[in-house]
Amino acid sequence: MELRSTEQEAREQFSKGRFREAARALHRLHRRFPERLDVQAQLGYLALLANDLDAAVNHLAVAIKQGLHSREALAHLAEAYYRQGRLGSAAWCYQRLGRGGLAGTLAVMGELEAYRLAEPHSSARIRWLTHDPLPVLAARVNGRNANLVLDTGAGDTVLDAQFAVDAGVRLGGQERRTFAGGMPAPVTYGHAEELSLDDCRIQDIPVQVIDIPHTLGAWFPDLHIHGILGTGVFSKFRTTLDYRSGYLHLETQDKTGNAQLENSKQGRPGVAFWLAENQLLFTCVDLPALDQGVWFLDSGMTGGAFAVPKSRVETLGLEIDERVAFVGAGGGGTVQGHKLRVDWLRLDRLCRYTVDGVVLESFPVERCCGFSVQGLIGHDLLRDSVLTLDFPAMQLLLTADTPGRPPSDSMDRC
């Protein structure tokens, strides 16, 4: 009975996105039943979410080596190797998952040190070219000028197909991927030898190459958009997106604890965030009908402060306004939905009142990670704020001039 209760607790807590509680239950199971390979693999996935890559590889590799035949565990191990920069090992896993296009590209890069900084202690403070409708900054890819949209909803750096050819990006295999709003699009994997962000030069970066949809380019009539910069690069730094002043700050990671020291100087620890497969970034959000739900942080979505799938509208106490349609753009093309509104919404110390959002017909992220995802936070919530993603500490800090406070502040921090 105790065993069944502990297993049920672990499943329920994980499903709700309460990862610390799930980990405690799984560790109890692992101590009593070290031969349980499924428990070993789940501990590996929790370590992957926390970006504790050594622990993730240790748990997952042991489970697979000892006989766990699970595509899910193999996919998690591939992701852990990929984030570590062990591209040859990641290629081995992806090949066995049937993702030959990605595997072949990574295998060619297998002897390289991915995301290598030309100067180990590099940092950068780069002014955006524009704030609206999304932040864009100037960069150089293989020495060629590029305008890149900043987007926490993207994992790898994404480059436009024609630009990638012109910049001499080495192209590899191809596969179809699903982007925002459930839109599919073909992706070619490639190898950019150098990305320059001001004086910060990052070498040997895996990239995704797509035909940037016309709808995205049309949002920037005065700029030619060459690609998207996402969490693959951000995660190598302590990254701050200063929406208030229009700057991107990148500070090299310090494993000795300096990042945590910076947090303490601000007088508070921030709120936890996690990285799932494809480096999707999740954190906790509060709103009137929800106690600490897990949400996808997708700063590349514009047109609303948040978005939820149609399946979540009723449980979140929201009402759809069928009269007002929303049309946006994702990596695969046009994204459509309808407007809705919530009385208040809080992320970390930032609270907005009477917040407009979007309901989406399709939201693949909702269940793809194994835990419940309530919705996504978009660009409009972040306006006039300063967002710091402290990857060494895996904590998010979000501040604004008038942070506000919801009607009840009794909810526990996730």
- Tens of pLDDT, residue by residue over 13-49, are 999 999 999 999 999 999 999 999 999 999 999 999 9
Structure tokens at 171: 């192209």
Q: Of 211, 201, 195, which is closest to residue 161 (Cα–Cα)?
A: 211
| CATH number, position 326 | 2.40.70.10
Structure tokens at 337: 């939905």
Question: What mean pLDDT value characterizes the chain?
Answer: 88
Distances (CA, A) of 74 to 65, 97, 141: 11, 8, 32
Dihedral (CA of 64, 68, 69, 72) sign:
negative
Residues 276 and 393 in one domain: yes
Q: How far apart are CA 264 and CA 318, in angstroms?
A: 37
* 247 lies in some domain: no
Q: Of 277, 159, 165, which is closest to residue 229 (Cα–Cα)?
A: 159
* 241 lies in some domain: no
For residue 136, give every residue at least 6 positions away whose Cβ sits within 8 Å of its Cβ, in sequence order, or none.
128, 129, 130, 147, 148, 149, 150, 220, 223, 225
Domain count, the chain: 3
* 412 lies in some domain: no
* DSSP helix/strand/coil, 363: coil
Note the pLDDT of residue 21. 96
Q: Of 234, 239, 213, 204, which is closest to residue 112 (Cα–Cα)?
A: 204
Sequential DSSP letters for 246-315: TEEEEEE--TTTHHHHHHHHTTS--EEEEE-GGG-EEEEEEETTEEEEEEEE-TT--SSSEEEEGGGTTT
Residues 146 and 198 in one domain: yes
3-state helix, strand, coil in the chain (%, to 5): 30, 35, 35
Among 78, 108, 138, identify where a domain stops. Answer: 108
Q: Classify strands 375-377 and 281-287 as parallel, antiparallel or unpaired.
A: unpaired
Note the pLDDT of residue 12. 95
Residues 210 and 297 in one domain: no
Note the pLDDT of residue 110. 94
Residues 263 and 391 in one domain: yes
* 407 lies in some domain: no
**Pair 307, 358: CB distance under 8 Å:** yes
Q: How far apart are CA 190 and CA 173, in angstroms?
A: 8
Note the pLDDT of residue 219. 83
Does the pLDDT of residue 322 top 80, yes or no? no
Q: Which domain holds residue 74?
A: 2-108
What band does 362 get if pLDDT is binned at 50, 70 and 90?
confident
Specify the range with the lowest mean pLDDT, choosing from 64-78, 103-117, 173-187, 323-337: 323-337
Note the pLDDT of residue 361. 80
Residues 124 and 189 in one domain: yes
pLDDT for 137-156, tens place per residue? 999 999 999 999 999 999 99
In the block, which residue shows the tokens 């950068």? 124
For residue 264, give every residue at least 6 positions away whose Cβ sits within 8 Å of its Cβ, in sequence order, or none.
none
What band does 260 get if pLDDT is binned at 50, 70 and 90?
very low
Among 90, 108, 126, identify where a domain stops. Answer: 108
Specify the range with the lowest mean pLDDT, choosing from 23-32, 86-95, 308-317, 372-381: 308-317
Give the 3-state DSSP-derived string for 95-157, with helices as H, strands as E and coil as C.
Answer: HHCCCHHHHHHHHHCCCCCCCEECCCCCEEEEECCECCCCCEEEEEECCEEEEEEECCCCCCE
Note the pLDDT of residue 317. 85
| CATH number, position 6 | 1.25.40.10
Specify the range with the lowest mean pLDDT, choosing from 8-12, 35-39, 396-400: 396-400
Calculate mean pLDDT across residues 328-339.
65
Residues 278 and 153 in one domain: no
Residues 103 and 120 in one domain: no
pTM of the predicted structure, to 2 decimals: 0.91
**Pair 172, 121: CB distance under 8 Å:** no
* 194 lies in some domain: yes
Residues 98 and 120 in one domain: no
Does the pLDDT of residue 401 top 70, yes or no? no
Among 75, 108, 141, identify where a domain stops. Answer: 108
Residues 103 and 139 in one domain: no
* 159 lies in some domain: yes
Residues 68 and 135 in one domain: no
Note the pLDDT of residue 253. 65
pLDDT for 224-254, tens place per residue? 999 999 999 999 999 999 999 999 999 986 5
Note the pLDDT of residue 52. 97
Residues 124 and 91 in one domain: no
* 411 lies in some domain: no
Residues 223 and 324 in one domain: no
Does the pLDDT of residue 371 top 70, yes or no? yes
* 172 lies in some domain: yes
